[in-house]
Structure 1
Amino acid sequence: MTDSTDNGKSGMTARDIFSGAFQQPSPQPVIDLGRQPAQASKFTITGVSRIRPSFLNTLLQPTFAATTVKQLADEAREAAGKLQALGIAKQVSVELDQGNGIDVHFRCEDGSRFAVRTGVDVGGDEGTANVVGRLNNIWGGGESFEANYARGTKTAAAFRGVLAVPLAADPQHRFEVSASQSTTDQRPYTSHDEVRRSLGALIRKQAGPVQHEVAYALAWREVAGLGHAASPSLRALAGHSVKSGITYTCTYDDRDSLTVPTQGALIKSVAEIAGLGGSVQLAKAQVELQTNRPLAPGYVLSVGAQAGALWALTGQRVPLADRFFVGGAHSVRGFEYRGIGPRDKADSLGGDVFYAAGLSLLTPLPRVEALRGHLWANAGQCALLLNTPKANEFMRFLSSPSASIGFGLVYRHSMVRAELSWCIPIAATTSDKLKPGLQFGLGFQFL
């Protein structure tokens, strides 16, 4: 006996309809945007008041070279990000329209031409208040000029002007020229003022976590304003020096924070050669290492090390302005700022070789996310050795570091790091200036 019910579908039985309800629909074709061919045919930009055609051609060259939909979209987004990073536009939205080719349209909110801000900087055992004026997108290619005037607890006055020009329409690849002047009171660590005037130029290239920088600087330094208690060694170093030199800096930094990192590493090396004119001929090298590892939720182990050396190339005395200084809340805690190394009376004289190392453990505290407990151990030494070789002094320099241990609190702000530490010096030389007990530090970079 056959089922004569057709449910409105001619030639189909109820059993056919029932079984068909469980059949999978035919698969639809999947479009792979990574292989879908596409070519940009036209580009338009609106909302920007100033942009140079040659800059725009360089910026868009990768977009017009794209051969797939995905490549084109990625390059267009990259170009939009560069417009924002260079200050040409505040906001950028990208639209792709299909025609004979693909039309690319950037809708922008014009960037600000002028900006003025005030702020506070900390570091080098002082705080400074500053006023910064900035002129953006000067010639329509993301160029900027920034002028900074600052006064601080030690800085009587400081001015710096920087003209920055992006290379190849890339905000991570810049050429800069600068001029600066500052007068700094180095008391009570050394009985003098330091005046610096400099002209410089540099090329900086950033590629992911790696940054390369080649810089030239012509600097006129003066050790002046000696107090009546200035030591004979300091008086011998007083006066003018002119340095003309080239510096190469290579930095690898993948830390998740510049102030209180919880993971990642920093590797930084600096090499300098001076003697292209001027009165100073020297070679200088410096390296800084840091690694940060999370041990458990909220617990972070940090290990850091720094070292440097400089050589006078003509047998002359190394100028005070080029020497290394060690000690203080940002360096080896438990000692005064510039409190480790050669000294004559109350004057810190710095060294031509130094090293410093630190071990820190950050711990969580209940209910306060931005505040951490801090256990640490620091060690370091600074000496005048390389330009007056003494084998026994060099061995003592390596084997007898000044050291301290301590504990305290670390406050993590979005822009700065603050530390309050209880310091216990455990090893020191007769010339060191200790700072046991409470020590406060505010800044960006700590050992």
Structure 2
Amino acid sequence: MGQLQAKEMPKQSFDEFDDDSDDALLSHVIEAPARVDRVKVEGVGRTYDDIITDSIKQTEIFKSSTFGQVILQCHEVRNQLERLQCFQGVQIEVDASDGPDATPDHGYEITFRVKELKRYRAGVTTTVGNNEGSLVVWGKLPNLYGRGEMAELSYVYGTKSLLYNLTLRKPFFGPIDSILSGTLLRQTNEMPASSAKLSEQGLVLDYSILFQKVKNSIEWNGLIREILPASRDTPFAIRESAGYTLKSSLKFTSALDQRDDKILPRQGRYCQGSVEFAGLGGDVGFQKYSGLYQVNYPLASFITAQASVDAGILGSFSQDKTFSLCDRFFLGGPLSLRGFSHYGIGPKSDGSSLGGTVYWQSAYHIYTPLPFTKPTKGSFSDNFRLNLFANAGCIQDINASELKDKWRRMGEQLRISYGIGLAIRFAGLARVEINYCIPYSYQRDDSVVPGMQFGFGITFI
């Protein structure tokens, strides 16, 4: 938080207070007249002055008229400096101003002491994805050119994937922050549900804008993709998609997150929508729409009702350009439609999932604290919840033009499951679920998982 130093108040100004009137004394100090005469930032090396000056100008520190406002604006300036991601520490010092231009009696000089990030950083960490753990070896060059730019090289070795990427990121600071990034990547992902492997290499350009709690991004993907059969037993329907494809697509995503926690929220809502158009070059062409909505409602102290719905549709532009196996939707898993194996729902060929072009799923949860515990926010027991859930959903391979005529099939082939389990917030970054699942309604080809099911990841419904 830093040091706070201020001038001693005149003793006669406190005569009206009793010795025990702490609240009145505090109110008097907060409301005491104050004016900021000067702001200094010390410890700056390679960071340019313009982004620091612009960050300070976005606050109202020079408009402060009371000592309480000065303190609040000091913290606001610190937040603005930290958001530049150029410093690893910002300390605050408030002192009486002096000199011929100082405001008599209530002028203050604010000093922000910063420590810049090192020129390079590297490390080895572990991460978790959806039912996958990964080892990450990374290196970063933060604040590369003095205005928050960053270059990052990473190698990710997962249980089902392998990734190399080089990312260059350029932030733009202002009333609305934005980030322009470019990534060169090469990755391989296993698709065990489809008895295939996917290899991708290419370039991804992304421009993201964060306004209040709404994040909008425009992304261009230029990827060379290869689908390979995972074994000799891979069915012919999967082998038909094998080989190389060139994808050039433009994707727009918008997300609003008003939840009080991303892993175990107690209140708030989250909604996300995305639109992707492929066919701007290459031999892949499609239009893809998807959306997710989640609402959390507190029923009582640490008891929450949650409802989510997720849906998507995929269609091709023409017969000349179509989509591949890796562009389709897949459904099922311990963090989506519980009681079914990962991507175990929908059309199949000899037990291998073919994916679908239309899907929807919904989930309903009641979260309660563990028995005989009285959790408080931030306590260890706050990371655990009993989870009563019910899921429903369906996925079909239907052309977009036939959707109105065949919509009834989406209801006739409904999958339903319910159960009880334990939801755990892991390290504040991921979610672990241990559930006892009861598949209630399913189709003959579905891969059901009755009984205990374990899952962990960062996205869930």
Within 5 Å, which residues of 2 pair with 1:97-136?
98=97, 100=101, 103-136=109-142
CA contact (8 A) 1:34 1:68 kept: no
For residue 250 of structure 1, report the CA deviation from its aligned partner: 1.1
For residue 168 of structure 1, report the CA deviation from its aligned partner: 2.4
Change in CA separation of 1:425 and 1:91 when aligned onto 2, cut-off 3 Å:
same
The AA in structure 1 aligned to 2:434 is L
For residue 266 of structure 1, report the CA deviation from its aligned partner: 0.4
1:197 equivalent to 2:201? Answer yes
The structure 2 residue matched to 1:153, chosen from 148, 159, 162, is: 159
CA contact (8 A) 1:55 1:169 kept: no
Change in CA separation of 1:73 and 1:340 when aligned onto 2, cut-off 3 Å:
same
5+ unaligned residues in a row in structure 2: which ranges? 1-24, 103-107, 374-380
For residue 343 of structure 1, report the CA deviation from its aligned partner: 1.0
Within 5 Å, which residues of 2 pair with 1:22-61?
43-61=39-57
Between the aligned partners of 1:278 and 1:407, the Cα distance in structure 2 is 47
Between the aligned partners of 1:285 and 1:342, the Cα distance in structure 2 is 20
The DSSP-based 3-state class of the residue aligned with 1:442 is strand
CA contact (8 A) 1:309 1:354 kept: yes
Alignment-derived partner of residue 346 in structure 2: 341
TM-score, normalised to structure 2, is: 0.82
Within 5 Å, which residues of 2 pair with 1:163-174?
163-168=168-173, 172-174=177-179
Q: Deviations over 1:313-332 (max 9, x none)?
A: 11344211211110011110
Between the aligned partners of 1:309 and 1:218, the Cα distance in structure 2 is 22
CA contact (8 A) 1:194 1:223 kept: yes
The DSSP-based 3-state class of the residue aligned with 2:186 is strand
The AA in structure 1 aligned to 2:396 is A
The DSSP-based 3-state class of the residue aligned with 2:55 is helix
The count of aligned residue pairs is 417
Between the aligned partners of 2:51 and 2:438, the Cα distance in structure 1 is 58
Between the aligned partners of 1:192 and 1:302, the Cα distance in structure 2 is 35
The DSSP-based 3-state class of the residue aligned with 1:417 is strand
The structure 1 residue matched to 2:392, chosen from 358, 379, 385, is: 379
Change in CA separation of 1:35 and 1:297 when aligned onto 2, cut-off 3 Å:
closer
The structure 2 residue matched to 1:421, chosen from 435, 443, 451, is: 435
The structure 2 residue matched to 1:252, chosen from 231, 256, 266, is: 256
Of 56-65 and 398-407, deviating more is 56-65
Alignment-derived partner of residue 3 in structure 1: none
For residue 85 of structure 1, report the CA deviation from its aligned partner: 3.0
The DSSP-based 3-state class of the residue aligned with 2:194 is coil
Alignment-derived partner of residue 444 in structure 2: 430
Of 395-404 and 357-366, deviating more is 395-404
1:144 equivalent to 2:147? Answer no
Alignment-derived partner of residue 82 in structure 2: 84
Change in CA separation of 1:125 and 1:94 when aligned onto 2, cut-off 3 Å:
closer
Change in CA separation of 1:172 and 1:117 when aligned onto 2, cut-off 3 Å:
farther
For residue 173 of structure 1, report the CA deviation from its aligned partner: 2.4
5+ unaligned residues in a row in structure 1: which ranges? 1-27
For residue 31 of structure 1, report the CA deviation from its aligned partner: 9.4
TM-score, normalised to structure 1, is: 0.85
Change in CA separation of 1:431 and 1:34 when aligned onto 2, cut-off 3 Å:
farther
Of 221-230 and 364-373, deviating more is 364-373
The AA in structure 2 aligned to 1:159 is Y
The AA in structure 1 aligned to 2:263 is T
CA contact (8 A) 1:174 1:203 kept: yes
For residue 33 of structure 1, report the CA deviation from its aligned partner: 9.1
Q: Deviations over 1:218-258 (max 9, x none)?
A: 12211014421121211111111212122111111111111
Larger Rg: 1
| Percent of aligned positions that are identical | 27
Alignment-derived partner of residue 301 in structure 1: 305
Change in CA separation of 1:241 and 1:408 when aligned onto 2, cut-off 3 Å:
same
Between the aligned partners of 2:29 and 2:288, the Cα distance in structure 1 is 54
For residue 302 of structure 1, report the CA deviation from its aligned partner: 0.9
